[in-house]
A and B are shown apart, each in its own frame.
Chain A
Amino acid sequence: MNRGEKGFGILVTFCIMFLFWLILSGFFDAFHLIAGVVCSAIVTLICHGLLVKGKSQKMFLKSVRLFLYIPWQLWQIVLANLDVAYRVLHPKMPIDPRVIECETSLRGDFALTTLANCITLTPGTITIFVEPGKGKFWVHALAKEPADAHLVDKTMQRKVADVFMEW
């Protein structure tokens, strides 16, 4: 990480923190604004390396793509809940749990985290392990169909790979 990128990271973190302060406080007099600046500065000093990483190629494009991906994800969450509701309320409880492994082409930290969280939120699957070096996921599936969705179909993996442009 060189100097310019570090400065950019600090600036972006500070702006986000201050905006967050403004929204949460709702007061715009001098005292609250100055307190906000001081607090944001302290937070930025401590953890500017967490929010914005140095290698931020095409970050804006990726955020836009992520934003476009969210509606599809929300719809998947609704489907997941209806699926679980069906399995819970069915008198015979049609579940057949299994642990599967699936390979992906993703390597970046943020991409892997996003895919892991999305897998957890979608029909009948929970991420157990992630192996960052190989892009490998251990997934606990509630039945055969949701497991096949990740092993055979791979719609979600392709979509997340599209978002982060890591094919």
Chain B
Amino acid sequence: MLLVDVIVTILLTSGMFFMCIGAIGLLRFPDFYTRLHATGKCDTLGEGLIIVSLIIYHLFHYPGTPLMAVKLLFLIIFIFIANPTAIHAIVKAAYRRGLKPWRLGERRR
């Protein structure tokens, strides 16, 4: 039981770490496209790790309702499909509007 709690804590913490990285990247990176790099990737893995930890916790502490774990698993799958698709849609819209990507040496926007 204790080992499971340790694993869950590690997964939760690393998930939160990646979400934090996403937020810091959003603030530090110079333009729209690079900011999406930070938020898009880190949010996907961060949410994934947090939900995996929830699944493990649920399976070990409430083994009577395994369907809940399956629902959480579906959440992960949909996040992993929807997140990159949404990023792609946003980037494409920005590129179509003519927003120029930031190059090395320019002022940050």
Contact = CB atoms under 8 A, between A and B. Distances in A.
Interface residues of B, number: 38
Interface of B is mostly: helix
Interface residues of A, number: 31
Nearest to A96: B104
B42 interface: yes
A8 to B, nearest CB: 24
Query: B18, B25, B45, B67: which has the most chain A beta carbons within 10 Å?
Result: B45
B42 A126 contact: no
A99 B31 CA distance: 14
B34 A23 contact: no
Interface of B: 17-18, 21, 24-25, 28-31, 33-34, 36-38, 40-42, 44-45, 65, 67, 70-71, 74, 80-81, 83-85, 87-88, 91-92, 95, 101-104
The list of the 5 closest CB pairs from A to B, nearest first, reads A120-B84, A88-B25, A117-B84, A85-B21, A81-B45
